[in-house]
Each structure stands twice: as structure tokens, then as C-alpha cells.
């Protein structure tokens, strides 16, 4: 498994209040994580917007980017685009923590 992807999964699970096995990955392919996370985001968009927004707040997802995706993307693409943004943000956190872990 890609080391960065592996480090993102626990963070995402924590922010979305998911059991870690819900995002268990079989490959190191980012697309697998995107797909699984998009399903979760889609479910939350339809049933628990408060929980979704709380997760985005914890992740520090850019509010402007969120509004842009929600207002301009085709409905079928919203979940995957939001998943990609979440993963990008979490990867940035992982990279930053790795960079400064010895300070």
C-alpha cells in the first residue's frame, strides 16, 4: 500500500467517525480510496449533512472549494470531487507532519 494513502486512511476515518475497516484498502491505488470515500460522502450528503459538515470542518476543507463543487458540479460528480478534495487535504497534512516531525 502506498505509504501516504495508508497514513491518510486513519485520519479520514477519525474525521468522519468511521470504523477503520470501512475504508480498508486492497490496493495502493488512490482511486480505490476515492471511490470508497465518495460512497460515504454521498451517503452523508443524503442523510446526515451535519456530520458531513463537521468532518469537513475538522479536515479544514476549503469552504470556497466546497461551495464551488456543490453549486457547479453535475450531481453525479459531487461525491467524487469532494472525496478528491478531502484526500488532497489529508495528504497535505501527512506531508507537513512528516516534514516537521523532528522539530
Count of structural domains within the chain: 1
Percentage, residues of the chain above pLDDT 70: 97
- State the residue range of the domain holding 16: 3-100
**Please, which residues have CB within 8 angstroms of residue 86's CB and are 6 or more apart in sequence?**
12, 37, 41, 56, 59, 61
What is the average pLDDT across 56-76?
95
Question: For residue 91, which of 25, 17, 30 has the smallest C-alpha distance?
Answer: 30
Residue 1 confidence class, pLDDT cut points 50, 70, 90:
very low
Which residues fall within 8 angstroms of residue 19, CB to CB, at 6 or more apart?
Answer: 13
Amino acid at each position: 500500500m502506498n505509504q501516504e494513502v495508508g497514513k491518510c486512511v486513519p485520519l479520514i476515518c477519525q474525521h468522519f467517525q468511521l470504523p477503520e475497516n470501512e475504508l480498508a484498502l486492497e490496493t495502493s491505488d488512490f482511486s480505490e480510496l476515492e471511490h470508497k470515500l465518495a460512497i460515504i460522502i454521498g451517503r452523508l450528503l443524503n442523510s446526515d449533512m451535519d456530520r458531513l459538515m463537521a468532518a469537513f470542518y475538522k479536515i479544514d476543507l476549503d469552504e470556497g472549494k466546497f461551495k464551488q463543487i456543490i453549486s457547479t458540479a453535475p450531481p453525479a460528480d459531487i461525491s467524487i470531487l469532494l472525496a478528491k478534495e478531502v484526500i488532497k487535504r489529508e495528504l497535505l497534512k501527512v506531508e507537513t507532519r512528516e516534514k516537521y516531525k523532528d522539530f
